[in-house]
Copies of this chain bind each other. A is one copy, B any other.
């Protein structure tokens, strides 16, 4: 009953997923950083690291942090695939908004079958991105690199496209929606005040000013056709 037939527990899946995400930033993932990300204690993390190392899901050198093995990565990618497919499904099929999908997907990702995964994948016509612009890993464990650079570090004068947003802060996502920002929208960066001051954007005919913290949740890329009129794909 506690086992429930699963090869890896939901807890293990959460650990592996968190490590995967953290190791995209830093070479090695430290105990404390992981503990903070998972909302648990460093002691609990250390114990789990030993267990995961025994199961060959990661390489663990005491005091030096961890790094996933390919086996660990495959599990992480499988869960991230579940998460992002579910997010997109909730948005498309059940009308969830992009600030609501993360919390629901967080619970469901551990409990769907391969069959369910395949069915929603097919129903969504084999999508490659989730509602936040994050890439959806393939079934066989490959994932595109993240796109975009932070809007918080953008220079005025550029014409850019909104490629991606951070997924796990509903408040930020609601704010962005209110401001008229959505995936694939084109905008011009009019101004970026020094001292982490606000950034002013032109969205179609509207001018909007947003703080640096919120801008940190947004990732952009230079417009492919910077000379043409911006195309507002936002609904």
Contact = CB atoms under 8 A, between A and B. Distances in A.
Interface residues of A, number: 26
Contacts of A108: 108, 111-112
A207 B103 CA distance: 52
B111 A94 contact: no
A126 B112 CA distance: 24
Interface of A is mostly: helix
A120 B93 CA distance: 10
B104 A115 contact: yes
Given A11-B2, A123-B94, A100 B115 contact: yes
Contacts of A103: 113
Interface string A81-111: 0000000000001111000100110011011
Interface string A1-12: 110000000010
